[in-house]
Structure 1
């Protein structure tokens, strides 16, 4: 079913993918549409593909609108006020983790193994901070076969990150050193690069979504624990440190509180939607 409210959810997902460490999958999980999203992606190859396309269309439109419009605001905030902006997202992430734990009724459903899985997920995502290359990455030109293979797998891994909560696809591009090349390809409409990355993304989405569906059916609690760990670990990825004068620090604290408040409002919205559907 086509739902216009999913357009705004898609915009939220698109905005989140602009920030390294915050993925569209995280926002989808927060908004309560994560499993529906995975089901819709898997359903594109079934006889009921029309129903799933109708679910995905407003999300895709929303993501596109965010990238074309709101992205300018986010980019400006990240350039002019990076510390408060990132603290807003940190507040959002920390504020939503208790809600996700409550959703899975962790007090009764979690065993020591699940806590270990959660910790492992946090360590995996948090450890990506050690992989950052502080030196500038040059744009690839005169691409060889090996470069195209790298771009293909970069698209594959980035699409996996887009689905899995915790790490953004743009962050994967940065880690693999292909971000400037992909951005230039978008601006110059380099079909060879865009086609290579695009094929990787499409295949990655198809395969990863099926794997996640299987894990949710067979190991729901463990999968939820791992994803919560991914989300918690992303705090270490985007943490900018606390520096500056009194005004900047105060602004960061306020932004953090606003992020937490936003998480609370999203929790209320999610519960109302669940009550209306129930």
Structure 2
């Protein structure tokens, strides 16, 4: 991709029909489940299941449409909205909402009861999925390698931050935290839930979802929308003009984020040596990674069949 076709990172001819909706709902559920888990990136899942660039492109059209509507360009705004990939976006959003509601009830207690096993499984998933953005880079150049190193070091340092204390936050703080966390949703390798945990807002946010605290959720949604509007266009431009370099940076972020998923950690996220139960945890990590590999292989097979059919 290059600046010449910056109008859209995804060709309109590849727009899926309604038959793709069930699959996109499942992809959205996978992304939503990932975002509930600290250290796991919904953007990473979007890359793995093959919808990342379509989502970024669609979000970019929506952001542009809103800006045009505010400046009085109603006709242009409608055209931008028409170009958004709604056949992908809407099912994915529906799946994410369902997964977040269910995940807030199920995944968080599971992580609390079995933290080492949960991190081992997620470690294997992310480790085996690094091949996805790495292969998308294509022919590697020196600057791509430098971007990997930069992203890996940055993510490693970020995921080593000690957790913040859980508080009863004011709505303004909730909105600001959401604006930061939503950037992680569209940036593979960085976990929105992990950022909330670092800010001390992970447990309050899960509690708000479970208790249907609509004031909290409304402040969170508003902050997320503002953060997405400010960030997504920059990311879309980066993918258009520096596609390989951007994907190389994402690869590095995924590598560095593995620190957060190392199974053996203390309460302040300090890394520890494996204990006597390391072998089952290793098997769990490999098994989870193989599941991801199978999903990636299946997605590639389906993409090849769809390409032949067009």
Q: TM-score range by the shorter chain?
A: 0.7 to 0.9
Tell me which of 215, 226, 240 is aligned to 2:263: 240
What's the secondary structure of 1:164's corresponding residue? coil
Distance (Å, rounded) in 2 between the aligned partners of 1:274 and 1:71: 32
SS in 1 for 2:189: coil
Indicate if the aligned counterparts of 1:120 and 1:226 stay in contact, CA closer than 8 A.
yes
TM (norm. structure 1) is 0.86
> 2:80 matched to 1:62?
no
Q: 3-state DSSP class of the match of 1:91?
A: helix
Deviation at residue 59 of structure 1 after TM alignment: 0.7
2:81 alignment partner in structure 1? 49
Question: 1:115-134, aligned counterparts within 5 Å?
Answer: 115-133=145-163
Deviation, 1:61, is 1.5
Could you say which residue in structure 2 is the equivalent of 1:271?
A: 300
Per mean C-alpha deviation after superposition, the further-off stretch among 181-190 and 223-232 is 181-190
- Bigger relative contact order (CA 8 A; separation at least 6): 1
What residue number does 1:214 align with? 237
Higher mean alpha-carbon deviation, 173-182 vs 211-220, is at: 173-182
CA RMSD of aligned residues (A): 2.2
Q: How does 1:54-93 map to 2 (within 5 A)?
A: 54-93=87-126
In the alignment, does 2:202 pair up with 1:173?
A: no
Residue in structure 2 matched with residue 112 of structure 1 by the alignment: 142
> Which position in structure 1 is the counterpart of 2:57?
39
Q: 1:27-56: CA deviations, max 9, x gaps? A: 001111100011121223242535633321
The answer on whether the counterparts of 1:139 and 1:180 sit within 8 Å (CA) in structure 2 is no
Structure 1 residue 86: Cα displacement: 1.2
* Alpha carbons of structure 1 residues 204 and 255: separation in structure 2 relative to 1, 3 Å: same
Shift of 1:173: 1.4
In 1, Cα distance between equivalents of 2:259 and 2:249: 16
Residue 284 of structure 2 is aligned to residue 255 of structure 1? yes
**Alpha-carbon offset, residue 120 of structure 1:** 0.8
- Helix, strand or coil at the partner of 1:150: helix
Answer yes or no: is 1:228 the counterpart of 2:251.
Answer: yes
Are the structure 2 counterparts of residues 27 and 116 from structure 1 closer, same or farther at C-alpha, using a change threshold of 3 Å? Answer: same
Structure-2 separation of matches of 1:38 and 1:189: 29
Q: Deviations over 1:45-99 (max 9, x none)?
A: 2425356333212111111221233554433431332212211111111112234
1:65–1:181: structure 2 CA closer, same or farther, 3 Å change rule?
closer
Helix, strand or coil at the partner of 1:130: coil
Per the alignment, in what secondary structure is the counterpart of residue 130 of structure 2? helix
Q: Which segment drifts farther, 80-89 or 226-235? A: 80-89
Distance 1:178 1:77, change over 3 A: closer
d(CA) in 2 for partners of 1:180, 1:73: 14
* Partner Cα distance (1:64, 1:195) in 2: 14
What is the match of residue 267 of structure 2?
A: none
Q: CA shift at 1:250, angstroms?
A: 3.0
Contact 1:85 1:252 (C-alpha < 8 Å) held by counterparts: no
Gap regions ≥5 residues in structure 2: 1-16, 66-76, 265-272
SS at match of 1:160: helix
Deviation per CA, 1:213-250: give whole Å up to 9, x if none: 100111111100111111111100121225454xx433
Is there any run of 5+ residues in structure 1 with no aligned partner, and where? none
Q: Are the counterparts in 2 of residues 16 and 22 from structure 1 also a CA contact under 8 Å?
A: yes
For residues 124 and 183 of structure 1, what CA distance do their matches in structure 2 show? 27
Aligned length in residues: 266
